């Protein structure tokens, strides 16, 4: 394919929530002549030479939308034989469709999240096709849906050696959203034994998330877990492999359908991940899965937990969820293969 227009929020390898977008763009750029990235904001110099970036940032929504339409319109002349990818934000597909669909240009929405919305319904109808990690990681059935894996950069997450030391050290990563079910993970710690510790790291990107972090800190105090549970800030993406190396396992209690990418990142690092989402049944063996919102069940899994690293998890990520596999899936979808 000659050209792909890739629409996303941010191009920033240090962004606390969106850094993983950068290797996805790079993987697409390896397989096409040119990638034009339309983004609200972008760090210069982080993409390959065959990528160009147009930004549409503005102080208010109407102007941002107008700048987006202008930036996309400027790329239409060279887009015949190419395609458009709307990454995660349904509004991008809705705004792009009136410009690109009349030209017969494929428009693919990538979306993995648990929440259905009227805007997402519109985006699904406006798109040529929809891609997601798994059929269960898109919030409603669609004949346009194609499961293509998550897109993990294995070079970023090498297999790490087992941690040395006594006890069990657990890690939870992600935004301080109630959807992450971190309260259940905290509640499981005292049930799992006196030698279990938990470190939580993540950003608070809204007032609701800031309030939930305070709630978790209060829960830690109420359960008398000071010194055993740490509720910490987000860490730079480059430091996450070191976090995996200094912990025995990742714990993830996502309360809805989306498959949290951090589980795949831990698996790529050969670190066992205990997760509650049923959609991980193709990645994690039964002993690493537990029922959602069940601290007793999680504690039970931890009581029989094997601390050894799991290279077979990395092999599964490489086969089904690598960033190269993801780019292949996007391009196959764009080309109707």
Give the residue-averaged pLDDT of 57-70. 93
CATH code (residue 53): 3.40.50.2000
User: 55 and 28, same structural domain?
Assistant: yes
User: 134 and 221, same structural domain?
Assistant: no
Read off the pLDDT band of 324 (50, 70, 90): very high
User: 137 and 40, same structural domain?
Assistant: yes
**Burial of 196 (C-beta count, 10 Å sphere; 0-12/13-18/19+):** buried
Instruction: Kindly state whether residue 104 falls inside one of the protein's structural domains.
Output: yes
The DSSP annotation for 202-232 comes to ----SHHHHHHHHHHHHHHHHTT-TTTEEEE
Q: Lowest-confidence range among 175-179, 218-222, 265-269?
A: 175-179
Instruction: Kindly state whether residue 10 falls inside one of the protein's structural domains.
Output: yes
Read off the pLDDT band of 113 (50, 70, 90): confident
pLDDT digits (tens, 9 = 90+) for 66-81: 999 999 999 988 788 8
Instruction: Kindly state whether residue 159 falls inside one of the protein's structural domains.
Output: no
Instruction: Kindly state whether residue 114 falls inside one of the protein's structural domains.
Output: yes
User: 138 and 274, same structural domain?
Assistant: no
Q: Lowest-confidence range among 60-74, 141-155, 255-269?
A: 255-269
User: 197 and 124, same structural domain?
Assistant: no
Quote the pLDDT of residue 337.
73
Kindly tell me if the per-residue pLDDT of 173 is higher than 70. yes
202: containing domain: 168-318
User: 326 and 287, same structural domain?
Assistant: no
Instruction: Kindly state whether residue 144 falls inside one of the protein's structural domains.
Output: yes
Kindly tell me if the per-residue pLDDT of 307 is higher than 90. no
Distance CA(26)–CA(323), nearest Å, equals 9
Read off the pLDDT band of 257 (50, 70, 90): low
Share of the chain above pLDDT 70, in %: 100
User: 326 and 308, same structural domain?
Assistant: no
The total domain count for the chain is 2
User: 184 and 100, same structural domain?
Assistant: no
Quote the pLDDT of residue 180.
92
Phi, psi of 165 (to 5 degrees): 130, 165
The gap between the terminal CA atoms of the chain, to the nearest Å, is 13
Instruction: Kindly state whether residue 161 falls inside one of the protein's structural domains.
Output: no
User: 183 and 141, same structural domain?
Assistant: no
Phi, psi of 108 (to 5 degrees): -115, 130
Instruction: Kindly state whether residue 162 falls inside one of the protein's structural domains.
Output: no
What mean pLDDT value characterizes the chain?
95
Distance CA(264)–CA(71), nearest Å, equals 34
**84 DSSP β-pair partners:** 5, 107
User: 39 and 106, same structural domain?
Assistant: yes
Kindly tell me if the per-residue pLDDT of 209 is higher than 70. yes
Q: Whose structure tokens read 């010194």?
A: 227
Among 39, 48, 47, 16, residue whose Cα is nearest residue 88 = 39
Instruction: Kindly state whether residue 157 falls inside one of the protein's structural domains.
Output: no
**8 Å CB contact between 100 and 79:** yes
* Kind of pairing between the strands at 196-201 and 273-275: unpaired
Neighbouring residues of 180: CB distance < 8 A, sequence distance ≥ 6: 172, 174, 202, 252, 253, 254, 255, 260
User: 238 and 300, same structural domain?
Assistant: yes
Distance CA(287)–CA(68), nearest Å, equals 47
pLDDT digits (tens, 9 = 90+) for 124-148: 999 999 999 999 999 999 999 999 9
Neighbouring residues of 111: CB distance < 8 A, sequence distance ≥ 6: 88, 90, 120, 123, 130, 131, 132, 138
User: 212 and 284, same structural domain?
Assistant: yes
**Whole-model pTM over 0.85:** yes
């Amino acid at each position: 394919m000659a050209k792909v227009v890739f629409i996303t929020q941010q191009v920033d390898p240090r962004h606390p929530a969106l850094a993983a977008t950068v290797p996805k763009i790079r993987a697409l750029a390896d397989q096409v002549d040119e990638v034009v990235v339309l983004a609200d904001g972008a760090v210069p110099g982080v993409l390959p030479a065959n990528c160009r970036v147009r930004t549409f940032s503005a102080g208010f929504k109407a102007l941002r939308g107008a700048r987006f339409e202008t930036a996309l319109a400027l790329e239409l002349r060279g887009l015949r034989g190419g395609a458009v990818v709307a990454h995660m934000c349904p509004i991008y597909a809705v705004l792009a469709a009136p410009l690109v669909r009349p030209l017969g240009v494929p428009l693919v929405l990538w979306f993995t999240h648990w929440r259905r919305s009227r805007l997402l319904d519109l985006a699904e109808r406006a798109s040529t096709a929809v891609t997601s990690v798994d059929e269960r990681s898109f919030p409603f059935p669609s004949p346009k849906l194609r499961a293509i894996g998550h897109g993990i950069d294995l070079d970023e997450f090498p297999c790490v050696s087992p941690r040395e030391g006594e006890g069990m050290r657990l890690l939870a990563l992600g935004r301080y959203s109630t959807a992450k079910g971190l309260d259940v993970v905290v509640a499981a710690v005292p049930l799992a034994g006196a030698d279990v510790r938990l470190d939580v790291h993540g950003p608070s990107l809204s007032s609701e998330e800031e309030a939930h972090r305070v709630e978790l800190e209060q829960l830690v105090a109420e359960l008398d877990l000071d010194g055993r549970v740490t509720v910490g800030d987000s860490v730079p993406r480059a430091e996450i492999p070191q976090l995996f190396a200094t912990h025995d396992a990742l714990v993830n209690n996502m309360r809805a359908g989306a498959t949290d990418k951090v589980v795949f990142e831990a698996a790529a690092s050969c670190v066992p991940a205990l997760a509650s989402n049923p959609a991980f049944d193709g990645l994690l063996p039964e002993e690493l899965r537990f029922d959602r919102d069940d601290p007793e069940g999680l504690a039970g899994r931890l009581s029989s937990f094997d601390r050894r690293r799991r290279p077979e998890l990395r092999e599964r990520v490489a086969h089904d969820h690598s960033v190269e596999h993801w780019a292949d899936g996007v391009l196959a979808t764009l080309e109707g293969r």
